[in-house]
Amino acid sequence: MIVMNVRKICWEDVEKESLGEDKARKVLHTENMTIARIYLDKGSSVPEHKHENEQISWVIRGSIEVRINDQVFNVNTDESLVIPPDTPHFVRALEESEVVDSFSPPRKDWQTGQDSYLR
């Protein structure tokens, strides 16, 4: 049996995109999802925003603070946070961090360059 549409991707080959002086990302888009490696300097932040996508954030190194309404979630190395669609959230890096963010459906705003809130 031949498996169609299978792709093997090496993260080292994915272009790292600067999002300003204190953050960067590497992104992969598929038909049904977006996955990104986000690199945050200590103290960097992502302003409050929301999107139609369900999001899972997995901290693979470091520590981040995520504020949703009046709740604050400190998410540390090897912990994840699930953020439902259309939920306003703010992120701040408590230390230098690397986070894998997965989104479903794919981030159309990232694909079309309509993600100025990140920059």
Where are the chain's structural domains? 19-118
Q: Which helix (H) or strand (E) holds 29?
A: strand 23-29
CA distance 72 to 88: 13
Contact (CB, 8 A) for 91 and 64? yes
What CATH class has 19-118?
A: mainly beta
Percent of the chain predicted with pLDDT > 90: 92
pLDDT at 4: 76
pLDDT at 80 over 80: yes
Q: Can you give the pTM of this predicted structure? A: 0.93
What strands lie across the sheet with 45-49, from one edge to the other?
45-49, 89-93, 63-68, 71-76
- Cα–Cα distances in Å, from 90 out to 45, 87, 117? 8, 10, 11
pLDDT at 37 over 90: yes
